[in-house]
Each structure stands twice: as structure tokens, then as C-alpha cells.
Chains A and B, each alone.
Chain A
């Protein structure tokens, strides 16, 4: 679940090391507090020292997590959105398949489904961020959504700003937010079919034309020829 966390501690310089431990403790304290209040609902977590905190909660505890965080002083609502973890090449096949054929490279095998920080078991996740102005820290919340029931409780009762974010997430990923007062499309036309930010939604422009990045660029001197997809 947290095997990814070791890759992140690259930027610390010795000077920051002293403060880093202290801030780390603060985030750990917040995490402990959340765990104490939410109980078993906290199913995963990740702390990047001195930077950020990720907490994954049970789907059923999603609205409760917002209330608990608000009670802890995380009053400022930052954003809410979704993630589709369906891996490449499906996500990039609109460019990758075509491009790889052009450059003669072998077609990649689909990679396994790997969730990011704080882990996860499902393809779709909802994630959101709250911020405490007093503490100067933010929390990222994540929750798994099983494929057969893409539905989760709304945050818009606790954080009014979540209203629009949930509408956007709903139209972009096809999630349903239970209890949302007005869950209609925000950006897209009302008769729009499909969920654009899902990885299996084709980006038509890329289907019609291959990624210009690969056909236009001449091979760079000294560059790695097999990776000619660069700028």
C-alpha cells in the first residue's frame, strides 16, 4: 500500500532535516486524530514529511470524514475531483499506439493497475483536499469507488464549495454523489454522452492526428533516440 512512499524523499537537504521531523510529527498527530475519530474507516494513509498528508477512507465514511476534518479546523475547502487509475496504454492510446508505430518502437503491454499514495483497490477514486488556515496544513482525502457502484455521499452539506466540484466530477467521471441538491451537468451540454476524464474516453483530436510531438521533432543531438517523443 505504501511501497511508493520511499521514492519521494529526494529533495531534503541536511539543513531542512531538523524542521522536517517536527512537521512530520504534526501531520502524524493529525492522522492519529483522524484515525481516532473515524476508527476503522481510515484504510490507508501516506505522509510526505514536511509537505503533505494523504488519507484514504472507506466509501461509507466519506461524508463523515469531511465533518471530522471540519471539526479539526480544516475549514477551507480546496478541491474535489476523481481519479481513473486505468493504466496506460489505454489512457494514452490515442497517441501512444499510433506514435509507437511511427517511431518503430514495440507496442507496450498494458501496465498493471497501480494506485497512488495511500493505496487503493479500485479503478476509480474520489479525492479531495481540505486546508486548515490555522495549522497551515492540508489533507488529501481519497476514497475507493467500486466499479459496479460509482456512488458516494456528498460533501456539499459540509462544504458548500463542494457543490460545483461534485457536479464537475459527476459529469467528467460518471460518479453519483448521494444527497447532492442539484447534480446536473456543469460544463458539458445536457445531452453529452460519455465521461470525458475517464481514461477509456478517446480524445478525438489524438485519434484523427497522431501526436505532433513525435512526427515534427527531428532527432535531438545526443538525445536518446528511442525516446524521440520529447519536446
Chain B
């Protein structure tokens, strides 16, 4: 199979087209899956209710129906809004999400672009969404939007740092910035000489994992860090003026980002697409890799959404001090310990 694929060497534009198609199919699909499974079904289950039942078998097509409904809605820009920026903002947010998918490896070869500095790239493009959020908040000409946008900007910037620092521990341990490299390092690693399950960094970098998940939660503006979109006080913040497909884009971006962050968390901490007892060079990973990654993503997403449905939200100043006073010192300590151990061992 490796040979078969090696023989398939399309021209640049064909491979680009394929990649674009794959991304543009994968992104909405993953968003739909997460929305359907967690937002509708798991949430209903946790809250002892049924959730959607009518559309499709057991209500599985509800989100499609919702999506169609959104597409039918009129595209309204409020009077007084800065129309160009108002309309571009959702696209900027979506673009940040799409760029994140580029670097996510589903197996050694199933990756849109296997960057050497994958970790760096992921962390960099993920902060692009702040731009879109700020644009949306400012251009909506709405006080709630403005407050939401500013809160979001403050929060996203504040939580970039713990996220970077949390990942740094992994990078130090793996010795590479490439996402695939980190997967290999975990699959081939050993814990003090015991290599039966490789070395998934969740075991050694559990502090980093916790910080990373907390920061992801904040980046996704989900409870307990959903002050920027707190619907009970600033009525969904920067999204408040959006209707129709522009709101749908925000929605898609939110869930697709949740998926890709869960994916990055699985790559960094759970061994990515690899399973311990199968050699990473195996051809099986063309099929198995995406499945394994998907399973791990679902586990991580479950944790993310579980927290989302359970906790109340922090106040803006509380979540800032949580980032600066707890997460960042913790991450720095983690880095120090990791580096020392790396050198010593």
C-alpha cells in the first residue's frame, strides 16, 4: 500500500484540490458530530431529558435541520454596524479553525501539511480567532457585543500563554516541534525503561494536560470560562447581532475548533493516531489512524463538554487571575521540572 501511494504522485494543484475538499468536508462534519453527540445527546443525558427526537433516527439529523433553517434566514446587518467588518468577522474566525486542521495528523501520512514546527504553527493560528471575535464585537455596534468582544479578547490572549507553556513541557520531552514527531516520540518512548504502551505524555505531563485542557476550555469560551458569551448577562456577547449563515459559521467554527483542539490534545498527550502495540510504520494506520484519533478526540471532547455542562462561569477578573496566578506559575513549574528531569535522565 505504501508503494501504491508512492506511485500516486499527483501534480501540485490536484493534491491541493484534494486537500481543500477534504478539509471542507471534514470541518463541518466534525462540527456536526460534536454538536450532535455532545451538545444534544450527551447534554440531554446528563440533564435527564431526551434531547431532539424527531429529525432522523433518534433525532440524529436535528443539526442538519437547524443548519438548513439558519441558511434560510435573512442575513441582517444592524443599522450602524461597520458592514464590511461585520460580515468578514465570522470568516476570520472560521479561517483560524480551518488553518488549525491543516496541521492535525491523522496518521503518518494523512496530514494536509506535515510541518516541522507544527506545534508552533497550531498555537499561532489558533490565536487568529481573537481578531475575528474583536472585529465582530466592535463592528456590531452593540454594547453587549462590544463588552463580549473585549472580554473575549482579554481572555483569549490571557489563556494563550498557559497553553503555550503547557505544550512546552511536551515539546521538551519529545524534543521536537513536529506534531507527527511528538506522536512518534510517544509511540516509541518508554517510561523508565518500560515501553509496553510507549509513553503517552498524559502520564508524565499530566499537569500540562490539565493546564492545556483548561486553556482549551477558555479558548473555546466554554463554561466555566464563557464570560465573553455569557448568555444570561451579555446575551451571547459578540454573537448577539448575527443571524442566519453568519451565526452558523460562528457555530461551526466553535465546534470544529473544539474538535481540532481535542485532536491536538490527543496528539500531544494521548499518543495521537498511534496505538501502543502496532508499529508506527504499519500500513494499517492509513485506516486505523483516523479511527484511533477520532476515538481519542471523542474521549477528550467528552471531558471538555462534561465540564461545560457542569460548571458555573467564572467572573472576568476571576478567570484572569486564574490564568495569571494559578495556571501560568503551574505551567512554569512544570517546565522547570520537565527540563530538569530531561537533563538528569
A touches B in complex, CB < 8 A: no
Spell out B's residues near A (CB within 8 Å): none
